[in-house]
Amino acid sequence: MGRESAGMEHHVYFWLKEGKKNEADMAAFEQGMTELLKIDVISDGLWGKSAQTPERPVTDKSFDYALSLKFDTLELHNLYQDHPEHGVFVNAFKDGWEKVRVMDVA
């Protein structure tokens, strides 16, 4: 088993504060993630909630939202991190996060 490309994936899991789990705040957060997907250095991506898969001891469904982004190179990921629209997203929503976890795969 080997690697097919030098690309990477950026996975972000969000746990929202209880006060932000209302229809208006969640709709705004979803729109914010949708806007992130338009950033030109991202080759592919999606956001969503925990899938309704069967319960298993190794599955963590405690998060409210997940964002998964693909980049053709690590350098493009690094450009994304400094992209103005990424900063807009973080600044707009960081006060509503109880916890955030990032898991990058290369």
pLDDT of residue 4: 61
* Distance, CA of 4 to CA of 34 (rounded, Å): 28
pLDDT of residue 6: 73
8 falls within a domain: no
pLDDT surpassing 60 at residue 25: yes
Q: Which residues contact 63 (CB under 8 A, 6 or more apart)?
A: 13, 14, 15, 50, 101
6 falls within a domain: no
24 falls within a domain: yes
98 falls within a domain: yes
pLDDT of residue 75: 96
54 falls within a domain: no
Domain span including residue 44: 16-49+62-105
At 33-80, the pLDDT tens digits run 999 999 999 999 999 999 999 999 999 999 999 999 999 999 999 999
pLDDT surpassing 70 at residue 8: yes
- Strand 8-16 versus strand 97-105 pairing type: antiparallel
26 falls within a domain: yes
Overall domain count for the chain: 1
Averaged pLDDT of the chain: 95
pLDDT of residue 3: 55
20 falls within a domain: yes
Check which CATH number belongs to the domain holding 29 and give it.
3.30.70.100
95 falls within a domain: yes
